[in-house]
Amino acid sequence: MALALASNLAFSGRAVLTKLLKRDHPGAQVTKSDACLFFHVSRCGLCILVPCALVLDAGAWLASGADPVRLGLLLLLNGMAHALYNGVSFAVLAKVSIATHAVLNIVRRVLVIAVAAAVFATPVSAFNGSGFVLSVLGVLAFAQSKSRGGALRTRPKNLLPV
């Protein structure tokens, strides 16, 4: 659970930090193109994740007795698919606001869960269904607020009556 939370925080942090980097340092070599920035962000992630994976999972890999060639091919295929997904996500992030990107990510997750539940005939509990409905309602509320032009463009001067 903690690693899933850390993953979500890192994903959101990547979106916010890359937008801030492009805004605050437009002349930096790294921010000259989205492809260059994506490469450097991915390289940093790889340098962090490979040692963690080796420390946390190497023992399980060795103990499983899995064919190293097959495992290597699966890891390569998974890495390429994930890099493609992240590249598309990064390209979308360059075109939309952080909030819109976050909402699109929620839509993607809800659709993946719904399709997986349908394809694999996974039973959906009332709790899971209510989470699905809440996600859809949140996305609809966001879309409606965007279509109105955003009701609150400026922050009120006094949040509390003093």
Whole-number Å distance between alpha carbons of 48 and 135: 32
Is there a single domain that holds both residue 82 and residue 102?
Answer: no
Is there a single domain that holds both residue 84 and residue 117?
Answer: no
- Asked whether residue 4 is assigned to any structural domain, the reply reads no
Is there a single domain that holds both residue 75 and residue 116?
Answer: no
Domain residues for 25? 11-95
Question: pLDDT truncated to tens, each residue of the chain (162 aa)?
Answer: 787 788 778 877 887 888 888 888 888 888 888 888 888 888 988 898 889 988 998 888 888 888 889 988 998 999 999 889 888 888 888 888 888 888 888 888 889 989 999 999 999 999 999 988 998 898 888 888 888 875 555 555 555 554
Domain count, the chain: 2
Is there a single domain that holds both residue 131 and residue 107?
Answer: yes
- Asked whether residue 159 is assigned to any structural domain, the reply reads no
0.85 surpassed by pTM: no
Whole-number Å distance between alpha carbons of 149 and 147: 5
Q: Is 66 helix (H, G, I), strand (E, B) or coil?
A: coil
Is there a single domain that holds both residue 72 and residue 124?
Answer: no
